[in-house]
Amino acid sequence: MAARTKPRRLDHCSRFALAMKRPPAEIGSRGGSRSQARTYRAGRGIAGLAPDPETRQGRAPMSPSELIRDLDHVAIAVPRAADVTDFLVGELGARPLDSGPGSGFLWWQFAFGRGGVVEILEPHGPPDGFLHRFLERQGHGVHHVTFMVNDLAAAADHARSQGYEVVGYTDEFPAWKEAFLHPKQAQGIVVQLAESHPELEPSETQDFRFPPLPDPAPEPMDLVAVRLNAHGAARARHQWEATLGGICQDRNNLLEFRWADSPLCIRVEIDPHANEGPVALDVLPAASVPLPEGQNPVLGIPFRPAR
Q: From first to last of its 307 residues, what are the pLDDT tens digits of the chain?
A: 333 344 444 444 444 444 443 333 333 333 333 333 333 322 222 223 333 344 455 566 788 889 999 999 999 999 999 999 999 999 999 999 999 987 788 999 999 999 999 999 999 999 888 889 889 999 999 999 999 999 999 999 999 999 999 999 999 989 999 999 999 999 999 999 999 998 888 766 566 789 999 999 988 999 999 999 999 999 999 999 999 999 999 988 899 999 998 999 999 999 999 999 999 999 998 766 778 889 999 999 999 998 7
The pLDDT value given to residue 29: 34
Report the distance separating Cα 65 and Cα 154, nearest Å: 12
At residue 205, the pLDDT reads 56
Ranges for all domains in the chain classified under CATH 2.60.40.4320: 222-305
CATH 3.10.180.10 positions along the chain are 13-40+63-200
- Report the Cα 233 to chain-centroid distance in Å: 22
**Backbone dihedral angles phi then psi of residue 224, each to the nearest 5 degrees:** -115, -25
CATH architecture of 222-305: Sandwich (2.60)
215 burial level (CB within 10 Å; 0-12, 13-18, 19+): exposed
User: Residue 236, SS3?
Assistant: helix
Environment class of 109 (CB within 10 Å of its CB; exposed 0-12, middle 13-18, buried 19+): buried
CB 144 within 8 A of CB 187: no
pLDDT at 207: 63
Determine the Cα–Cα distance for residues 59 and 56; give it in Å rounded to an integer. 6
pLDDT at 292: 84
CATH 3.30.360.10 matches 13-40+63-200: no
Q: What is the pLDDT of residue 218?
A: 87
